[in-house]
Amino acid sequence: MTTNEHLKLESVSEMLAFVLAVETEASERYAEMAESMDAHNNTKVAEIFREMADIEELHAEGVQRQVTELNLEYLPKADYKWSAPEGPETGDFSDLHYLMTPREALLLALHNEKRAAVYFADIAEKVTNDDVKKMAQEMAEEEREHVQWVEKWLLDYPEDENEWVEDVDPPVEQG
């Protein structure tokens, strides 16, 4: 995955605004996914998504603390357009299924964390501002740590036995 050609991160405040957007979007999406799973009484998967939402929210709060520590009065407002359909750390709703297993939920989270790590590493390679480069490298490392967490959590969920090979209650398609 490459960074968006329109993305210009030339200052620490622009990078912080960007990271805040990524983390907030990821937190909100995981929370939405948790609500969806709760609505389908898939409580274990909802718990996993809620935990991921909390992790992303903690990242967003960390960015806010950095803004305060750096005495930045405001972050620039930017209209980010991702090079993929979703943000670099945001799960796609089309990957959800009301019968998904905890392992499948974790594999989705793993995919998102790996994608975010690559995305931030790519930014670090391309930016010219040393402070922004350092922040992008730190973000890539944090995302790689998340990859390790999710891989560890996956050990608690062995390979699925295709418990829901056939969807007995498929959605109704409307033409």
Q: What is the pLDDT of residues 89-101, one digit of tens each?
A: 777 777 778 888 9
Q: Quick one: average pLDDT of 147-169? A: 76
> How deeply is 134 buried, as exposed, middle or buried, from its count of CB atoms within 10 A (0-12, 13-18, 19+)?
middle
Q: Give the residue numbers spanning the domain of 27.
A: 12-154
Number of domains in the chain: 1
Q: What is the pLDDT of residues 26-48, one digit of tens each?
A: 999 999 999 999 999 999 999 99
Query: For residue 78, is pLDDT > 50?
Result: yes
Query: For residue 50, is pLDDT > 60?
Result: yes
Comparison of pLDDT for 136 and 6, the residue scoring more: 136
> For all residues of the chain together, what is the average pLDDT?
83
Q: Residues near 147 by Cβ (< 8 Å), separated by ≥ 6?
A: 110, 113, 114, 117
Please report whether residue 126 resides in a domain: yes
Please report whether residue 148 resides in a domain: yes
Interatomic CA distance for residues 161 and 14, integer angstroms:
46
Please report whether residue 95 resides in a domain: yes
